[in-house]
Structure 1
Amino acid sequence: MAAVAAAAPVALPAALAGWWEHVNGSPAWQDGIFWALAALYGIIAASSFIQVARIQHRVPQYGWTTQKVFQLLNFVVNAARCSVFAFRRQVQLVNPQIFQHVILDLPGLAFFTTYAMLALFWAEISYQARGRDTDGLRSGFYIINGVIYAIQVLLWVLLWLNPNPSMLILSKLFIAGLSFSAALGFLLYGGRLFLMLKRFPIESKGRQQKLSEVGKVAAICSFCFLARCVMMCFDAFDKEADLDVLYHPILNFFYYLLVEIFPSALVLFILRRIPSKLPLSQYHPLSSG
């Protein structure tokens, strides 16, 4: 009886391990999880598109503001992810294999660009508050993104010409380093703007709400990019953490839920306010005289 009691705790991990293998190897579970991810991404994409339409309807005279561009890019990124997971089996059959990497990696790069716009926006506010020129920030943002995409294209070409494990590891480590840099950017510019707002007078209009927005968004984005960095490092060196294969659906579900879906949903909820409608200018009729 003592031997049976001692062996009892081992049964649960074994059962969980068996369940994990069963789910990962089951085509029905794979399809179900990938369709669930597609549905979640589709909901976020639809929410972003609705926000763009609302902003355009409310203040069409503002043009393409940072808020509108951010929401539009969010729509594009999440619609792309939705399509990838909806057709995940077809993506796995794409040849040559390098195009699979492009299809799976490109939305991640676009996600970086989308949320880097928030850090750029915060940096511009900080610079303007100090009376400094902001033109260099925006041009620097374009240059940095151009360099990042150029490096990624070069890595794809090298992986195509020399498809060995070391090149694949290098490509994933590049994404990990990019994610770590993004997390630092949010901590730096979000923290700087938070401290600046904290020094404003208490009676300043919207101060408390803006403090809450900046603090929450900076924390969420820093966490999601740090989590992406850690997971990409595991993905690079551990085959059991490979996200680019069909037979790791559970890992895919928790990874994308943690680093993209959940953070995107929270940020969109926090930044759900849209500009107020401008009042019509008062009309003063001319006197008959």
Structure 2
Amino acid sequence: MAWMQGTKSFVLREGEIQAALGFLSWWDEIDESAHWQRGIYYTLCVCYASVSLVALVQLVRIQLRVPEYGWTTQKLFHLMNFIVNGLRALLFALYKSVFLIKPQVLAMVLMDLPGLLFFSTYTLLVLFWAEIYHQARSLPVDKLRPAYFASNGFMYFTQVCIWIFIRLGRSPVSVKAAKLFFSGWLCHRNLLCLLLDKMFCACSCRSGQGCRY
């Protein structure tokens, strides 16, 4: 009797596992569907192009309002946002051609470059707020920009070393290492965005304007 109950429980669990796998099979269908991929890539292209256009409009508005200040940190931020999102929109629009580029490392350079520029863009935003904080506290700001350039230089140097390793190695291990590094980029980018959102919200609340989000 106990053996029959155990067998029945095992069959039920196996059925639940198969049902769960069947539910998750939708991703395989999307991954293998050229129609779905085309729709997703073009949708992302439109989204990134829209963000790029907004950044360009903001840059033009600031330039027309205060042209006498030259290239400030705020203007550079909007310019880099325009470049990053415009480049991503272009890559998504031409995704078929990008995937066919040979050698493979050149395609990886094109796909990884927006991520590097994104890092530079939002560390520039961190630099902007760090300078405001230091000036409000009457603290020296002479070490902030060197720290910005040093951190960006380190990340670019690391990425270039990975590209060279992939080009010279030509092995699946090097490609997996590059994908792992890119995954780290994604995690860092999301955490950085969340941190900046909290920082902006805190600054707005302390200034008495309320939270913007």
User: Normalization by structure 2: what TM-score?
Assistant: 0.79
Match of 1:170 in 2: 177
Q: Does 1:212 align with 2:211?
A: yes
Deviations 1:117-139 (A, max 9, x none): 11111111221122121121012
Give distance in 2, aligned partners of 1:23 and 1:65. Answer: 44
Provide closer, same or farther for how the CA distance between residues 115 and 154 of structure 1 changes in structure 2, counting only shifts above 3 A: same
Q: Give the alignment partner of residue 34 of structure 1, picking from 41, 48, 54.
A: 41
Q: Does 1:116 align with 2:123?
A: yes
Shift of 1:9: 7.4
Q: Does 1:105 align with 2:104?
A: no
Match of 1:67 in 2: 74
Shift of 1:186: 7.5
Provide closer, same or farther for how the CA distance between residues 83 and 178 of structure 1 changes in structure 2, counting only shifts above 3 A: closer
Q: Give yes or no for contact 1:37–1:82 (8 Å, CA) kept in 2.
A: yes
Q: Give yes or no for contact 1:48–1:75 (8 Å, CA) kept in 2.
A: yes
Provide closer, same or farther for how the CA distance between residues 160 and 90 of structure 1 changes in structure 2, counting only shifts above 3 A: same
Letter in 2 for 1:163: R
Match of 1:137 in 2: 144
Question: Which protein has the bigger helix share?
Answer: 2
Secondary structure of 1:212's counterpart equals: coil
Deviations 1:168-213 (A, max 9, x none): 343344445556666479849x759948x84xxxxxxxx123x735
Map 1:66-105 to 2 at 5 A: 66-105=73-112
Q: Give yes or no for contact 1:49–1:72 (8 Å, CA) kept in 2.
A: yes
Shift of 1:54: 0.9
Match of 1:126 in 2: 133
Shift of 1:12: 6.3
Give distance in 2, aligned partners of 1:63 and 1:191. Answer: 27
User: Normalization by structure 1: what TM-score?
Assistant: 0.60
Give distance in 1, aligned partners of 2:162 and 2:20. Answer: 40
Deviations 1:27-51 (A, max 9, x none): 1111111111101111111111111
Secondary structure of 1:208's counterpart equals: coil
Q: Give yes or no for contact 2:201–2:211 (8 Å, CA) kept in 1.
A: no
Task: Indicate the larger mover: 146-155 or 89-98.
Answer: 146-155
Q: Give yes or no for contact 2:45–2:89 (8 Å, CA) kept in 1.
A: yes
Unaligned runs of 5+ in 1: 199-206, 217-289
Unaligned runs of 5+ in 2: 1-7
- Count of matched residue pairs: 200
Q: Give yes or no for contact 1:37–1:85 (8 Å, CA) kept in 2.
A: yes
Q: Give yes or no for contact 1:126–1:193 (8 Å, CA) kept in 2.
A: no
Deviations 1:205-231 (A, max 9, x none): xx123x735xx5xxxxxxxxxxxxxxx
Secondary structure of 1:135's counterpart equals: coil
Letter in 1 for 2:145: R
